Amino acid sequence: MTIDELKREALQLDPSTRANLARELLVSPDYLSEPEVERLWLEEAVRRDEEMASGKVKPIPMDEVFAELRATQG
């Protein structure tokens, strides 16, 4: 089953069941072991590096990020 198929099925659940599922999914990372967390972070870092290397995404300079954040904080 793909993620899209899973999402379609989950969205067909009644609101209460869907909310319970969402709650369980949100806390599920708390149950991961330290090696699992490290593996997931490494996978994410590799994915982001590949996206930047391929040109799919462009890095944003830190000063621009902070300037935009300050502007939205009012």
Mean pLDDT by 10 residues, the chain (74 residues): 94 95 89 90 96 95 95 86
35 by Cβ neighbours in 10 Å (0-12 / 13-18 / 19+) ranks as: exposed
Q: For residue 30, what pLDDT is reported?
A: 81
pTM exceeds 0.85: no
Q: For residue 29, what pLDDT is reported?
A: 80
Q: How many domains does the chain have?
A: 2
19 and 48 together in one domain: no
21 and 39 together in one domain: no
For the chain, give the number of residues. Answer: 74
CA atoms within 13 A on the CB side of 74: 0
38 and 23 together in one domain: no
20 and 49 together in one domain: no
Q: What are the backbone dihedrals phi and psi of residue 61, each rounded to the nearest 5 degrees, phi first?
A: -55, 140
49 and 25 together in one domain: no
Distances (CA, A) of 29 to 3, 6, 71: 17, 19, 33
- Tell me which residue range forms the domain holding 1: 1-31
